[in-house]
Amino acid sequence: MASLCAQNDNNSTPTSEPLITDRPDATESPSTVAPGFIQVETGGFYESFEEGGVKNETFTYNTTLVRLGLLDNLELRIGWDFVEGQTSVNGNKLNDVTSGFNPLLFGTKIGITDEKGWLPEIGLLGHLYLPFMASTDYRPETTGVDFRFSFAHTLSEKSSLSYNLGAQWRDDSPEAAYIYTLSYGYSISEKLGAYVELYGDFPEDNKANHLWDAGLTYLLSNNVQLDATVGSSITDGQDILISGGISFRLPTK
């Protein structure tokens, strides 16, 4: 998520400022990891949806994203999730449990411009989702692609507004799904932050999906952050989302 603090000054060093993460919300920040550093963002989440007596539950035990700073405005991104799915009918769990790795995420983030007055900080992200790295239960036939522009405004010393706009081609669909996010963050203290978010997509061949979530972040230090999130969907598709995780930054030299 975008920083809840005021913008960094030009004389600051990466470790003198709190790390800026791309979790726990769906909104990706426009900020890149500084060169010479690696940032690991990991956690797990649970989601469920029940309709007509059929309940689908998903447990994601590993949502690891590794971000490597290459240049002042360029980072490399690699991510991999381990997922388990369970279906119940009228309270009776079925035996067809699915489990395994999702396609490997491989991508980059480019910082386009810093925030200047009313103009936001802007970044561009792009990812490939490689099917040959996925387990059988979650392996699509084609490579997935997404991109998004990320924007962030500092509203005050304690608050910020961030949003993403982009598109994705996933799950073997030739049709695009246009994605959006909007997140408001507030710094309760120097260490504790809160956010609320609206996000979703508009598939070309299906109805729109709209969801919300809210959560807390806690800085153990400038280089380590904990997070917790709860959410649900506004349209059909998700009754509850519960998530927790940790992010940390390390020098590569």
Token pair in block for residue 189: 């203290």
Specify the pLDDT at position 6. Answer: 39
User: Which is nearest to 81 in space by CA: 30, 127, 15, 112?
Assistant: 127
- 225 pLDDT above the threshold of 90: yes
Tally of CB atoms within 10 A around 22: 23
- pLDDT, mean of residues 153-160: 96
DSSP letter at 132? G
- pLDDT tens per residue across span 65-114: 999 999 999 999 999 999 999 999 988 888 888 999 999 999 999 999 99
The CATH code belonging to domain 14-251 is 2.40.160.40
Say which residue, 53 or 162, is predicted with more confidence: 162
Specify the pLDDT at position 8. Answer: 43
* Lowest-confidence region among 16-20, 154-158, 201-205: 16-20
Token pair in block for residue 190: 């120097």
Share of the chain above pLDDT 70, in %: 94
8 A C-beta contact, residue 167 and residue 146: yes
